[in-house]
Amino acid sequence: MAGPLPRHLLPDTAAIADGAVSIGGLELVDLAAEFGTPLFVYDEQHLRQRCRDAVEAFPGGVSYASKAFLCIAMAQLVAEEGMQIDVATAGELYVALAAGVGGDKCIFHGNNKSMDELRYALDSGVRHIMVDSFDELDRLDMLHAEIGSVADIMLRITPGVEVHTHEFIATGQDDSKFGFTVSTGLALRAVERALASPAVNLVGIHAHIGSQVFSIESFQKAVEVIAGFAAPYDVDELSIGGGLGVAYVEGEEAPTFASWGASVQRACRDAGFAGRITAEPGRSIVAASAVTLYEVGTIKTLEGIRTYVAVDGGMSDNPRPVLYGSGYETFLPRSGDAERELDIRLVGKHCESGDMLVREGWVPDDLAVGDILATPVTGAYGHSMASNYNKVTRPAVVFVREGEARQVIRRETLEDLIRLDT
Ligand code: LLP
C-alpha cells in the first residue's frame, strides 16, 4: 500500500485537477492520445529553471553533460540558458553543431578519443579538449605536427575518492579507466608534459567522481584533492564535473544546485584555488523534468506471488533498472492523487525476464488494460540510452510549455529499422 505519488517527483509545472495530471498545461492522457506511446514528455519550464539554477550556482560557468539527453532542441535550450555543452563523442559534437551551438561553446570529453574525433574537435574550434590519457597527448602532438594546432586543454585527473553509487557509474576511485591518477603520480607527469608541450595550452584541471552522488562531502573530498593539486600550477579553471544525484523514488532527497555550488566553491577556496570553478551537470538538469507515458497491454495476476503489468515499452526505452538496479515510481495520469493500493511489477514487451521497468511499483487498484501509466523522473539516460532491441522503434519526445506541445524527436517508424541495411 502506498499513498499518492509524492508531488516532488513530478516536474515543476505538473498540476492535478479531478485526478488528471497535466504538465505544461496539457493533460498527459491527451498527450498520449495525440502522440502515441511510449512517449517522453519534458516540461520545458522545468528544464529552463534547472539550467538557471545551475548557472546561478556556478558563476564560473556550467556545461550541460549532453549524454544525459541530447537532441537539437535540447542543445538549443541549454545554449539559450547560457550554458556550454559537454560532448563526449564526435556524435554528440555533431548534434550540438547541427543545433547551431558554436564549437567554442563545446567542451570535448572521452577516455579514448580517436584521431578523427580530435581532428573534428579542433576543426570545430571546441573550447577545451578534456584530455584523459598520455596516448591522447601523443595524438595531439601528432596533430600539432600535421596541422599546427595548439589545443586549449584541461586534464582529467582521478582524485582517488570513492563515492557511494553504483559501481558502473563511480569514476573517482584510483581503479578507473578514466583520467590521470593523482596517487600514482600520473597526474603530476601529465601536468609536466602538458606544460612543456607546444601542442597544448593547459587551461585547467578537471575531475568527475561519479554519477547519482547524494553526498556533498564526497564532492568536498574530491575538491580538496584536485584544488590542492592544481594550486601550484596557476591554471585558470577547475571543473568539478557532474554527478549531482536526483530523487527517483519516495523518501529520497537530493542536494540542490545552490548547496552543491556553495559547498564545492567554498572547498576550492579553502584549498587555495583562486581561479574559475565550473561544473558539468547532466542528470540533475534533465531527470525530473520528464515522465514517460506507456499504455498497459496485459495484466497477469499470480495469486500469492505477484501481479505483472506489461506496457508497450521496456528496457529499450529505459535500460537503467536492468543495468543498475535503479528504482522508479509509477502513477496513473488519470488518477494522479489516488492511493496506490496494488503492488505490481512493471515490465516491458521484450523477450526476457530481466525486462523490468519497476521491480516494486504501486498503482491504484482499478488499473485496467488500456490505461495510460507513467513513470516519473525519466528525463536522464532514458532516451539517450534507448535501443532498438527486438526491433522496437524508439519513442517520440515532446516538450510541453504553457499549453503547447512540440515534438522534438519523432517516433521511429518500421522503415527506420532497415535504413542502414544494405
Ligand atoms: N562529466 C563527465 C565527464 C561525465 O562522465 C558525466 C557522466 C557527467 C559529467 C554528467 O554526470 P551526471 O551529472 O549526469 O551525473 N548512464 C548512467 C550515468 C552515466 C554517467 C556518465 N558520465 C545512468 O543512467 O545512471
pLDDT, tens digit (0-9, with 9 covering 90-100), for 125-170: 999 999 999 999 999 999 999 999 999 999 999 998 888 777 777 7
For residue 34, pLDDT over 80 is answered with yes
* pLDDT for the residue numbered 349: 98
Contacts of 261 (CB under 8 A, 6+ apart): 54, 56, 57, 58, 279
In this predicted structure, what is the pLDDT of residue 165?
78
- Mean confidence (pLDDT) of the chain: 96
Q: Could you give the C-alpha distances from 4 to 249, 268, 289, 290, 331, in angstroms and in order?
A: 12, 42, 19, 18, 8
Q: Is residue 66 in contact with ligand 1, taking CB distance under 6 Å? A: no
State yes or no: pLDDT of 80 exceeds 90: yes
Assess contact for 179 and 132: CB atoms under 8 A.
yes
Mean pLDDT confidence for 47-52: 98
pLDDT for 398-421, tens place per residue?
A: 999 999 999 999 999 999 999 999
The grid coordinates of residue 223 equal 575538491
pLDDT of residue 299: 98
Residue nearest to atom 19 of ligand 1 (CA): 169
Architecture per CATH, 44-286: Alpha-Beta Barrel (3.20)
Ligand 1 centroid vs 339 CA: distance in angstroms? Answer: 34
Q: Whose CA is nearest to atom 9 of ligand 1?
A: 242
**Ligand 1 centroid from CA 284, angstroms:** 10
Nearest atom, ligand 1, residue 380 CA: 24
Q: Kindly name the residue from 71, 106, 268, 351 that is annotated as catalytic.
A: 351
Q: What is the pLDDT of residue 13?
A: 98
Quote the pLDDT of residue 167. Answer: 75
Express as a percent the part of the chain with pLDDT over 70. Answer: 100
For residue 298, give the nearest of 341, 349, 335 by alpha carbon.
349
Query: What integer pLDDT is reported at residue 170 of this predicted model?
Result: 76
Q: Which atom of ligand 1 is nearest to the CA of 280?
A: 9
pLDDT band per the 50, 70, 90 thresholds, residue 11:
very high
The answer to whether residue 268 is catalytic is no
Q: List the residue whose alpha carbon is closest to atom 5 of ligand 1.
A: 208
Q: Give the class (CATH, top level) of 7-43+288-418.
A: mainly beta
Find out whether 272 and 69 touch, Cβ atoms under 8 Å. no
Range of lowest pLDDT (126-130, 153-157, 229-233, 278-282): 229-233
Mean pLDDT of 252-281: 94
pLDDT tens column, 91-125: 999 999 999 999 999 999 999 999 999 999 999 99
Domain boundaries, given as residue ranges, for the chain: 7-43+288-418, 44-286
Q: Is residue 52's pLDDT more than 80? A: yes
For residue 218, the model assigns a pLDDT of 92
Q: Name the pairing type of β-strands 396-401 and 404-409.
A: antiparallel
Nearest atom (ligand 1) to Cα of 211 = 15
Nearest alpha-carbon partner for 203 in 272, 147, 140, 275: 275
Q: By the 8 A CB rule, do 229 and 161 touch? A: no
Query: Residue 372 pLDDT more than 90?
Result: yes
| Best residue among 67, 107, 385, 387 to mutate for probing ligand 1, ranked by most atoms within 8 Å of CB | 67
**Spatial separation of the C-alpha atoms in residues 29 and 413, rounded to whole Å:** 22
**In this model, does residue 231 exceed pLDDT 90?**
no
Query: Looking at ligand 1, which atom is closest to the CA of residue 326?
Result: 25
